[in-house]
């Protein structure tokens, strides 16, 4: 029986890489993104490589009630795998960043992701099976000065994923929070144009490798997936030093890698 996967933020980066992995495993795809041009390109490329069905939905996930619009547009097709990947970053002090952009981020990372998960979960529970992959981040494990809303929203996604994973034990449905560190995607360019030779980039990961790690973790039903030994170590730093010190370290790294 053919299964269907829905991926948000699927036009590029980790969303696109995860779409390729799902297509390779014979899932039909529903790709959602605000970038209609690259969404069309992604559909064409995937259809050239695989025999699966690929549908695209052009939506701005920062808009209220967009999750309902998505479910209506796909005619409530049963979703076997939900990948909540869409997201973006914003650099700067909280006092000086634009509230409208922060509100968009909160909608994309938290409200739309949570609402879409609730809507898709209803069908999964009726069928007694399903997999959900939420794109959290290494940022979820500590506060993030100069990217405060981004870090906080990723912390929400981690906590939310762990909580509902526990609630769904024994239902046939698994929830995985993928928590990658810095990854070579367009995210880095959007957040900062800093090209300084002093940037710290030793831990920059390949998106295809991160996607594969997350995909395998999802298929195994792992709750928290942190790709890379260095990232696993960094996720536990707060256990050994004070949160005040960890927060300052994060700020120092942000100032090194971004442009104020």
Residues 208 and 184 sit within 8 Å (Cβ to Cβ) = no
Model pTM score: 0.91
Residues 15 and 7 sit within 8 Å (Cβ to Cβ) = yes
In the structure encoding, which two tokens stand for residue 25, read together? 């495993």
Catalytic residue annotation: 150
Residues 6 or more apart whose CB falls under 8 angstroms from that of 47 comprise 54
User: For the segment 41-94, what is each residue's pLDDT rounded down to a tens digit?
Assistant: 999 999 999 999 999 999 999 999 999 999 999 998 999 999 999 999 999 999
**So where are the chain's domains?**
3-257
* Distance in angstroms (rounded) separating the CA atoms of residues 171 and 188: 38
Structurally, at CATH architecture level, domain 3-257 sits in 3-Layer(aba) Sandwich (3.40)
Residues 29 and 61 sit within 8 Å (Cβ to Cβ) = no
Expressed in percent and rounded to 5, the helix, strand and coil fractions of the chain are 50, 15, 35
* Distance in angstroms (rounded) separating the CA atoms of residues 23 and 188: 26
Higher model confidence: residue 251 or residue 169? 169
Q: Has residue 1 got a pLDDT over 80?
A: no
**Listed residue (142, 236, 114, 135) closest to 179, CA to CA:** 135
Q: What is the pLDDT of residue 197?
A: 47
User: For the segment 205-240, what is each residue's pLDDT rounded down to a tens digit?
Assistant: 899 999 999 999 999 999 999 999 998 988 888 788
User: For the segment 55-68, what is each residue's pLDDT rounded down to a tens digit?
Assistant: 999 999 999 999 99
């Amino acid at each position: 029986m053919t299964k269907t996967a829905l991926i948000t933020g699927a036009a590029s980066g980790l969303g696109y890489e995860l779409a390729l992995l799902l297509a390779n495993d014979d899932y039909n795809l529903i790709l959602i993104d605000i970038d209609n041009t690259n969404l069309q390109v992604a559909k064409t490329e995937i259809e050239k490589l695989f025999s699966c069905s690929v549908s695209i939905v052009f939506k701005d996930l920062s808009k209220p009630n967009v999750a309902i619009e998505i479910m209506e547009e796909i005619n409530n097709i049963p979703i076997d795998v939900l990948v909540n990947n869409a997201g973006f970053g914003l650099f700067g002090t909280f006092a000086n960043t634009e509230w409208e952009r922060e509100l968009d981020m909160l909608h994309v990372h938290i409200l739309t992701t949570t609402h879409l998960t609730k809507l898709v979960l209803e069908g999964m529970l009726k069928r007694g099976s399903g997999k959900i992959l939420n794109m959290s981040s290494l940022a979820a494990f500590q506060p993030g000065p100069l990217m405060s809303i981004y870090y906080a929203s990723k912390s929400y996604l981690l906590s939310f994923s762990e909580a509902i994973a526990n609630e769904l034990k024994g239902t046939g449905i698994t929830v995985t929070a993928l928590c990658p560190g810095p990854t070579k995607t367009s995210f880095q360019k959007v957040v900062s144009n800093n090209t300084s030779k002093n940037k710290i980039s030793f831990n920059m990961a390949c998106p295809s490798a991160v996607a594969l790690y997350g995909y395998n973790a999802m298929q195994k039903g792992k709750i928290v997936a942190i790709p890379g030994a260095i990232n696993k170590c960094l996720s536990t730093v707060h256990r050994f030093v004070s949160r005040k010190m960890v927060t300052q370290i994060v700020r120092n790294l942000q100032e090194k890698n971004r442009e104020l």
